[in-house]
């Protein structure tokens, strides 16, 4: 403990004395203080009125009884009042928010949003609506009162204080990590008693101490200055009383909400500090770290500017680490995130992701720090480690080496990780489109009768047909006698007539095929590449071929590019055995690509459509009536996706011959992609 205390003291001392960081952090704090003072005492930035003018207007308004406040606002508009008109307009918006909140909450609880004209909704939309209703069910409008919450809006808003705090975190990580590399003392640290691992832990903990100090200074000053300037004392009111926060699901007081806000902000900022610390450990030099950080920050800014909340990339925007600093967006209203077809609370998902990333970045930074040992020593230790590891692996050593060269040496693992991340980010549940009322009623009939025998289903449909015909005849003769409501119900029932006729046609088709059973064909058609909107499987095919080509070309050409082609013929293992191991690597690559792309598609379809009677004959689906009756839907699905898998293997192995004759990465990649993509687009 004493050694850790000494180490922390030394790191803090080096940070402030050798890099003059105390002056930089002090300057940032001074700029934040100037910003806050200008914001509350002048109208130069932020609002167009001062905090004093807002407070005097609020005090005058609170003296007016609630029943007369609407008249008070109208009177102040007509007369030349001493009150600030802009502040009065903002307070009027607050008052309207309080009055409208009971109706807003009632609409959410009762779920009065109208469904689509045909009476059906997407499965995910139903789940999301029920999930949102459960989140708002415990809320009440009894404690929502008029308080004038401009102070709370100011405290929670994302402004210059957040930008300044991010800059402080950047300078802390930069000054702690890069100073030894640029001062040329890193080699000395590696030979100290503490060792580079303890030095890395000491630097991280020293940065954490500075992080806490800076956080308390920035946000403590922000909260205190706004509280005193706006003279806000209604801390026991609910957050829904503040204008713009009617959609928040927090049930505690404003004091508890501010503590929650600061807690989430602290976790997000701590993750951001870990990101900067990781960049500093990886880049080692100040200019490299700054370039990497600017790219990271620019990516977050581009997300905000270009990705809308209706885009399919909204998950990427919302789960980006920099988005956590915009805590107002997280807490102002209740958002959901689509996690593989299931709605989850955005705040909870963001916190879990931040904690996981925090742990990963911390471990990675500690492992990466201090890799500046002597090159010969590092290579010796590295070779000994790899040799020892390969001896422990039960599989063939040559296969392990080829896999390592492909995934690590040629960055194949990075390509597969990017594919996995891209699939997760771009994942969006498909929606079942029912274009007519006949499609809606036909689906309901099939789902209701597919578990029954064909005889019972046929009897039911004939009874329905007879009943609808009688209703149609009756309404033609006695339609005037019916009330509007009864007439509407019978008219909707008559609209089921085409669906019943369609059901009888499908049952007649099934009766001619003894092994066929009733299934909802649309789901299986989607699963097997028929009637797919947006060409999703074509996109999967194109991406799968591209990734396999990018993985296979370096695998087959790495020895030639590195001048090792002739040496391979003289090795003990031999050229043919080496080629067999490379083919096994291709099979493994194809398996990973197949699981990522086509596995997500099968998961998507199975969570949108009802896939019952999967062991029925493939002839149960009318568009596949040409296949033999002994082939089940399950067998056909296995064969269909096995065809995709083996074609990926063919792409990986076939790329070998193109690379062999072209000897160029770019040219071989382009020609291989075109050669193997064109026939793959016809596999449906």
Q: pLDDT tens digits, residue range 217-268? A: 999 999 999 888 888 888 888 888 888 888 888 888 888 889 988 998 998 8
Q: pLDDT at residue 365 above 80?
A: no
More confident call, 122 vs 397: 397
pLDDT at 93: 83
More confident call, 516 vs 80: 516
Phi, psi of 92 (to 5 degrees): -65, -40
By mean pLDDT, which of 382-391, 420-429, 503-512, 592-601 is the weakest? 382-391
pLDDT at 604: 79
Which position has the token pair 């107002």? 328
Spatial separation of the C-alpha atoms in residues 137 and 110, rounded to whole Å: 10
Q: Taking the CA atoms of the chain, what radius of gyration do you get in angstroms?
A: 33
Question: What pTM did the predictor assign?
Answer: 0.63
CA distances from 234 to 151, 203, 588, 644, 675 (A): 10, 42, 63, 64, 71
Residue 339 in 3-state DSSP? strand
pLDDT at 193: 46
pLDDT at 571: 58
- Residues near 312 by beta carbon (within 8 Å), at least 6 away in sequence: 426, 428
More confident call, 32 vs 335: 32
Q: pLDDT at residue 182 above 50?
A: yes
Residue 613 in 3-state DSSP? coil
DSSP 617: B
- Indicate if the alpha-carbon torsion angle 540, 541, 546, 552 is positive or negative: positive
pLDDT at 7: 64
Beta bridge partners of 253: 238
CA-closest candidate to residue 49, choices 91, 77, 97: 91
Spatial separation of the C-alpha atoms in residues 101 and 112, rounded to whole Å: 15
Neighbours of 67 (CB within 10 A): 7
* 430-449 per-position pLDDT tens digit: 767 776 777 778 888 888 88
pLDDT at 555: 78
Which position has the token pair 């928040």? 248
* 389-429 per-position pLDDT tens digit: 445 444 446 667 677 777 766 667 778 888 887 777 666 66
Contact 446, 520 (CB under 8 A): yes
Spatial separation of the C-alpha atoms in residues 41 and 56, rounded to whole Å: 14
Q: Give the pLDDT mean for 462-466.
A: 84
277-286, 532-541, 563-572 — most confident range = 277-286
Residue 404 in 3-state DSSP? helix
Spatial separation of the C-alpha atoms in residues 103 and 255, rounded to whole Å: 26
Average pLDDT, the chain: 77
> 358 is written with which tokens?
């925090």
* 123-170 per-position pLDDT tens digit: 667 777 778 878 887 787 777 888 888 888 888 888 889 899 998 888
Q: Quickly state the pLDDT bin for 479 (edges 50, 70, 90).
A: low
Q: pLDDT at residue 631 above 80?
A: yes
CA-closest candidate to residue 46, choices 264, 246, 209, 225: 225
Classify residue 341 as left (phi > 0), alpha (psi -120 to 50) or beta. left
More confident call, 197 vs 171: 171
Phi, psi of 248 (to 5 degrees): -70, 145
pLDDT at 83: 66
Q: Give the pLDDT mean for 354-382.
A: 63
Q: pLDDT at residue 664 above 60?
A: yes
Residue 61 in 3-state DSSP? helix
Neighbours of 463 (CB within 10 A): 11
Question: How many CA atoms within 13 Å lie on the side-chain side of 554?
Answer: 18
Phi, psi of 18 (to 5 degrees): -80, -30
Q: Quickly state the pLDDT bin for 53 (edges 50, 70, 90).
A: confident
Contact 651, 539 (CB under 8 A): no
What length is written for the chain?
Answer: 684
Spatial separation of the C-alpha atoms in residues 196 and 440, rounded to whole Å: 67
pLDDT at 543: 86
Q: Quickly state the pLDDT bin for 101 (edges 50, 70, 90).
A: confident
> 478 is written with which tokens?
């006695």
**Angle of CA points 296, 300, 306, to nearest 5°:** 135
Residue 253 in 3-state DSSP? strand
More confident call, 229 vs 10: 229
pLDDT at 450: 80
CA-closest candidate to residue 579, choices 594, 563, 562, 557: 557
Q: pLDDT at residue 100 above 80?
A: yes
Contact 51, 230 (CB under 8 A): yes
- Residues near 99 by beta carbon (within 8 Å), at least 6 away in sequence: none
- Longest C-alpha distance within the chain, in Å? 102
Contact 149, 242 (CB under 8 A): yes
Spatial separation of the C-alpha atoms in residues 345 and 336, rounded to whole Å: 5
Beta bridge partners of 238: 253
Q: How much of the chain exceeds pLDDT 90, in percent?
A: 2
By mean pLDDT, which of 95-99, 138-142, 212-216, 679-683 is the weakest? 679-683
More confident call, 369 vs 518: 518
Residue 114 in 3-state DSSP? coil
Phi, psi of 120 (to 5 degrees): -120, 150
Residue 36 in 3-state DSSP? helix
More confident call, 308 vs 425: 308
Q: How much of the chain exceeds pLDDT 70, in percent?
A: 77
Q: pLDDT at residue 377 above 60?
A: no
Question: Over 592-606, what HEC string results?
Answer: HHHHHHHHHHHHHHH
pLDDT at 79: 67
- The two counts, helices (H) then strands (E), for the chain are 28, 2
What residues does each domain of the chain span? 2-55+146-368, 390-431+527-680, 451-516
Spatial separation of the C-alpha atoms in residues 432 and 124, rounded to whole Å: 10
By mean pLDDT, which of 46-60, 474-488, 495-509, 598-612 is the weakest? 474-488
56-65, 158-167, 296-305, 426-435 — most confident range = 158-167
pLDDT at 381: 45
By mean pLDDT, which of 216-230, 269-283, 504-518, 523-537 is the weakest? 523-537
Q: Give the pLDDT mean for 110-128.
A: 55
> 248 is written with which tokens?
């928040």
7-21, 111-125, 173-187, 238-252 — most confident range = 238-252
Neighbours of 607 (CB within 10 A): 16
Spatial separation of the C-alpha atoms in residues 680 and 648, rounded to whole Å: 9
Q: Give the pLDDT mean for 87-107.
A: 81
With residue 342 as reference, give the H or E element that holds it.
strand 342-345
Beta bridge partners of 343: 338
Spatial separation of the C-alpha atoms in residues 50 and 55, rounded to whole Å: 9
- Please give the distance of CA 183 from its chain centroid, rounded to a whole number: 41
Spatial separation of the C-alpha atoms in residues 28 and 31, rounded to whole Å: 5
């Amino acid at each position: 403990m004493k050694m850790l205390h000494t180490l922390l003291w030394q790191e803090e001392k080096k940070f402030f004395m050798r890099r003059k960081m105390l002056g930089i952090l002090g300057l940032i704090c001074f700029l934040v203080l100037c910003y806050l003072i200008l914001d509350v005492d002048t109208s130069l930035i932020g609002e167009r009125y001062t905090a004093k003018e807002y407070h005097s207007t609020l005090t005058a308004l609170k003296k007016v009884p609630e029943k007369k406040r609407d008249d008070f606002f109208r009177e102040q508009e007509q007369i030349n009042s001493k009150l600030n008109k802009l502040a009065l307009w903002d307070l009027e918006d607050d008052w309207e928010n309080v009055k409208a909140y009971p109706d807003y909450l009632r609409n959410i609880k009762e779920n009065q949003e109208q469904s689509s004209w045909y009476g059906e909704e997407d499965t995910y939309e139903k789940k999301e609506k029920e999930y949102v209703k459960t989140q708002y069910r415990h809320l009440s409008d009894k404690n929502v009162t008029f308080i004038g919450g401009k102070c709370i809006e100011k405290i929670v808003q994302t402004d210059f204080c957040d930008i300044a705090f991010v800059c402080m975190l950047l300078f802390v990580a930069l000054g702690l990590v890069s100073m030894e590399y640029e001062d040329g003392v890193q080699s000395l640290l590696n030979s100290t008693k503490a060792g580079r691992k303890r030095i890395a832990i000491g630097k991280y903990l020293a940065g954490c101490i500075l992080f806490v100090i800076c956080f308390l200074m920035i946000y403590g000053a922000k909260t205190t200055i706004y509280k005193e300037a706006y003279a806000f004392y209604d801390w026991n009111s609910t957050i829904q009383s503040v204008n713009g926060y009617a959609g928040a699901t927090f049930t505690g007081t404003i004091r508890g909400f501010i503590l929650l806000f600061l807690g989430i902000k602290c976790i997000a900022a701590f993750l951001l500090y870990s990101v900067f610390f990781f960049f500093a450990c990886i880049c080692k030099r100040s200019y490299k770290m700054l370039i990497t950080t600017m790219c990271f920050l620019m990516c977050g800014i581009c997300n905000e500017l270009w990705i809308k909340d209706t885009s399919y990339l909204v998950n990427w925007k919302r789960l980006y680490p920099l988005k956590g600093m915009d805590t107002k967006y997280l807490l102002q209203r209740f958002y959901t995130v689509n996690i593989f077809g299931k709605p989850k609370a955005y705040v909870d998902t963001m916190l879990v992701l931040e904690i996981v990333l925090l742990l990963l970045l911390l471990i990675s930074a500690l492992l990466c720090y201090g890799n500046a040992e002597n090159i010969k020593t590092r290579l010796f230790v590295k070779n000994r480690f790899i040799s020892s590891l390969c001896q422990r692996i039960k599989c063939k050593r040559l296969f392990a080496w080829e896999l390592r060269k492909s995934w690590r040496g040629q960055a194949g693992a990075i390509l597969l990780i990017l594919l996995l991340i891209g699939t997760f980010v771009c994942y969006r549940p498909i929606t079942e489109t029912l274009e007519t009322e006949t499609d809606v009623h036909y689906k309901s009939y099939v789902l209701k009768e597919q578990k029954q025998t064909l005889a019972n289903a046929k009897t039911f449909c004939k009874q329905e047909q007879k009943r609808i015909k009688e209703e149609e005849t009756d309404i033609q003769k006695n339609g005037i006698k019916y009330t509007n409501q009864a007439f509407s119900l019978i008219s909707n029932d008559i609209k089921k007539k085409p669906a019943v006729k369609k059901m009888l046609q499908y049952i007649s088709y099934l009766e001619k095929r003894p092994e066929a059973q009733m299934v909802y064909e649309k789901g299986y058609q989607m699963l097997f590449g028929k009637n797919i909107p947006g060409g999703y499987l074509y996109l999967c095919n194109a991406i799968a071929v591209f990734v396999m080509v990018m993985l296979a070309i370096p695998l087959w050409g790495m020895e030639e590019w590195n001048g090792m082609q002739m040496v391979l013929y003289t090795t003990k293992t031999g050229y043919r055995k080496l080629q067999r191991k490379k083919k096994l690597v291709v099979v493994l690559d194809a398996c990973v690509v197949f699981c990522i792309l086509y596995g997500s598609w099968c998961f998507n379809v199975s969570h949108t459509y009802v896939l019952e009677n999967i062991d029925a004959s493939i002839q149960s689906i009318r568009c596949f009536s040409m296949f033999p009756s002994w082939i089940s839907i399950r067998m056909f699905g296995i064969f269909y996706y096995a065809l995709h898998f083996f074609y990926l293997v063919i792409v990986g192995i076939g790329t070998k011959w193109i690379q062999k004759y072209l000897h160029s990465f770019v040219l071989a990649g382009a020609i291989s992609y075109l050669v193997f993509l064109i026939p793959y687009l016809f596999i449906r």
